[in-house]
Amino acid sequence: MPSESGKTGPPDGRLADCPDSPNCVCTQANAESRRMAPLPFSGSLEETRKRLKQACHSIARLRLISEQDGYLHYEARSRFLGFVDDVEFLIDAEAGLIHFRSASRTGYSDLGANRTRMEAIGKEFKSSYTSHG
């Protein structure tokens, strides 16, 4: 999705903030209760993107929707009721950080599912990174 500046991914290098409902986490969230730390990395953008995609591939019911430069958008579906969450990654090559946002499309509470998912992806990414890096 090209922005006004012609870049792909989110405009101005930021992911959308979380809503007031507790069914979202984001490394760039304004509310501390919804904020998580970004994933640090070193190395090339291409290698980082490859490792991130491998980490996401290890998570059940996560499907890549779009990929543009340093931006990845996935959909996650809950096992029983099929609720859809949006999972986004923004790779900041200059800072060596991967920002992310995981948010439910509907409902109010996700019972911590988005935070748990992002912790699992982060753990898998770090494990893959250290075992290959």
Residue 70 in contact with residue 49, Cβ under 8 Å?
A: yes
C-alpha–C-alpha distance, residues 81 and 86, integer Å: 16
Each residue's pLDDT expressed in tens, for the chain with a length of 133 residues: 333 333 345 767 789 999 999 999 999 999 999 999 999 999 899 999 999 999 999 999 999 999 998 999 999 998 878 889 999 999 999 999 999 999 999 999 999 999 999 999 999 999 985 655 4
Residue 87 in contact with residue 16, Cβ under 8 Å?
A: no
Residue 129's pLDDT is 58
Domain ranges of the chain: 11-132
Residue 35 in contact with residue 29, Cβ under 8 Å?
A: yes
**Phi–psi pair at 20, nearest 5 degrees:** -70, -20
Residue 126 in contact with residue 68, Cβ under 8 Å?
A: no
Residue 3's pLDDT is 34
Residue 130's pLDDT is 61
Residue 35 in contact with residue 119, Cβ under 8 Å?
A: no
This prediction's pTM = 0.88
| DSSP structure class, residue 57 | H
Q: Which two structure tokens, joined as six digits, stand for 49? A: 């993107």
Q: Report whether CATH 3.30.310.80 matches the domain 11-132.
A: yes
Give the helix/strand (H/E) hosting 129: helix 113-132
